[in-house]
Every structure is written in structure tokens, then in C-alpha cells.
Amino acid sequence: MSKRVLYYVQSLLGVGHVKRASLIAGALRAAGFDVTVVLGGAPVPGITFDGCSRVLLPPVRTLDATFSTLVDTNGQPIDDAFRDGRAARLLQEFDAIQPQALLIEMFPFGRGQFRFELLPLLQEAWARPDRPCIVSSVRDVLIRKAEPQRNQAIIGLAKRFFDRVLVHGDPDFIPLTASFPEAEAIADKLIYTGYVAEAGAGIEAGNACETGRGEVVVMVGGGAVGEPLLRTALEARPLSCAAGHVWRLLTGPNLPERAFDELRWNCPDGVVIERWRADVPELLANAVLCISQAGYNTMMDVLSARVPAVVVPFATPTETEQGVRAGILAERGAITLVAADDLSPKRLAASIDEALTRDRTCLPLDMHGAETTARAMACFCAGIRAG
């Protein structure tokens, strides 16, 4: 009999959370789990969660990069009636599925704005006589809250409700305490899985086709905050030693339509502009250079492909995750780093020339995080039943 897992995933601005979740869900399916994925954001092109049941809550996104206002599909701030409806739907699905495992992406370390539906879910799960194992799934780098009491509140929720916290990273590379020191208080709950990367990514995949051979690939993840890098890359192209290569710009599905149309209308010769590709691992394996932001999935694709890379992390006073990851990668010699506040065509062109001529370090990172997650979840389920 298969083990039932309810997997809660809420995207807000980018597509990285959904992409990583799709890889984990696929590994869970392959390990014999009956997976139901609860999705609370807008659909992401190309990510379908094959073989999994899906529960689509009324979609919510953030109004902008400040993450301060949650809005519905019409751009209107959500109200209490909207929240109550989502919370009731989530409890209804939980009751119908009666999972052996409850896997919640990011909470309580992120997605605090969704306490209105997650706390009732967790309370209901704990109230069951035959309760599910409850696991938090987090990336390698967290965004630390400025107020100490908020960080302590996160730890309190982790201690109260969660059996384990799966960290999709490598403690010898970036321990969770590097971005969230309070995690030391729940060291007994932390399990490092290794990084979650797409199966087949890397040089071997690239040898299978010629797509992207010799190109410069510019990627901005979902694209919601990628317009400055895309425009700067186009201006930097003629200034760099890579000017003679074909440049392929992947804008992401969330780049505003206005910006996408303008980029395509003014597209110079030798430049290809597309919203999205399913074969990014192959493109990068064949490319001479990648220019990108520093999101989790993007960095896994870059490192798997072993392609020279210039990385410009997305950063705001409250969004520090990409900067932490990119800074450590740059210190290890794996990428060439350009800070967002230092971005200009001239600076980017100089970094491109540097990345193409200097030696790079290939980091020995474990990229089998999805499979390790599935094995760990099976052990957790068995442990809860035995207990």
C-alpha cells in the first residue's frame, strides 16, 4: 500500500519554489508515495507535477518585490473572507486525503503570511490519534528576520509542530546556521539532503544535442525582477569579448508583457529572446557562458553544467538569500560575482571577459537531494508509525 503525502507549496513572486517542489514530488512518486500537491500560487508553464494529484487553492501572489501585500488574480488585496475560504479548503482536503506524511515547503522559516491556513492545518494534524509525520522543506539559505523575537517565534513553531526539517543543501558548503543562527536550537530536527537538481543535468545531457552550442545564455528565473539584468546584458554584449557569440535571453514567464515586447522589438542580430525553455540543462551544458541571477534552481543548473558564469544576485534590504549564496560561490571560485548595486554595461562586460578567461573551481556538491528527500520521508513515516 502506497504512503500518502500531502505536499503544500506556495509561490509568491518567482518560480523557484515550484520547480524545486516538482523535482521532490517526482522523487516521492518514484519511491512509491501517493503524492497530492497543494498549490497556492499561479500556474508555472512547463511544471505539471506528472503522476501527482493536485489541489489548486485560490491563487495568491505578492504585489511586488517587497512581499508586503498579498493579492488575488485580479491584483486586489486578499481579505479575511478570502483567507477563511482557503483555510477551510485546505482542511477539507487534508481530511479527505488523511495523509501519512505532511510536507510543508518553507514554513515556518518563510511564508509567515500564510499562518492563517497553516496553523489550523498543523493543529488539526496534531489532533489526529494516528497523526501524520510533519516535515518542513527548506532551501540552503533562509532570509533572517530583523526582529529577534520573530526568529525565536519561528524556532518555537518548529519545535512545537514539526518532526523534522529537511534542508536542501550541504552543511559543509552552506550550513543553515550561516543564514539563520537560531537553527542551532533545533539541530536535532535538521536533516541535510544535498541539493535538489534536475536529473540528467550537466555535461552528459548537453552532449545529446546541439541546441545552444557556443551561445551565451542569459537567465533571470521567473523574470518578475529580471528586467534590469536583461537590458544591461544587451548593452554589455558589444563591449565584451563574447560579442561574436549568439546570445539567448530567457526572460521567464513573469516578466511583464510590456518589457518582453520591447526586448523582442529591439532585438539585435545574433540575439534570441524567449520566455521559457524546457531544456535549460542542455542549453547550459553547450553554452560558453551563463549570465544569471542567483536563485537556488538557477545555481544548481549552472553548477551541474559546469559552465562559466557571471552572477548578479537579486537583492533588496529584506531579500538577502541570493546574495548570501552567490557570495559564497564567488569565494569558492565557482562564479564571477557582480553586485546588483554595481551593475552597469561596462562592469558586466568586464566580468564576462574575466569569467571566460580565468580558471574556475568545480565544487563537489551532492546534487541528489530529491532522492534523499524521498528516502528520508519514508523513514520518517515508518518512525511515526512505530512510535
* Architecture of the domain defined by 3-196+367-386: 3-Layer(aba) Sandwich (3.40)
Cα–Cα distance measured from residue 8 to residue 119, given in angstroms and rounded to the nearest whole number: 13
* pLDDT band per the 50, 70, 90 thresholds, residue 218: very high
Per-residue pLDDT reduced to its tens digit, 23-41: 999 999 999 999 999 999 9
Write down the pTM of the prediction.
0.92
Stretch (H or E) spanning 189 = none
Please tell me if the domain spanning 3-196+367-386 has the same topology as the one spanning 203-357: yes
- Inter-CA distances, 328 with 95, 207, 229, 283, 324, Å: 43, 29, 21, 25, 6
- Inter-CA distances, 72 with 43, 57, 61, 120, 386, Å: 13, 11, 7, 21, 42
- Residue 386 scores a pLDDT above 90: no
Of how many residues is the chain composed? 387
* pLDDT band per the 50, 70, 90 thresholds, residue 318: confident
Output b/e per residue, 213-247; b: 16+ Cβ within 10 A.
eebbbbbbbbbbbbbebbbbbbebbebbebeebbb
Residue range 295-321: mean pLDDT, rounded? 92
Which residue, among 94, 106, 100, has the nearest Cα to 166 in the 3D structure?
A: 106
Among 75-79, 117-121, 205-209, the range of highest mean pLDDT: 117-121
Task: Tell me which CATH homologous superfamily contains domain 203-357.
Answer: Glycogen Phosphorylase B; (3.40.50.2000)
| In the chain, where the domains are located | 3-196+367-386, 203-357
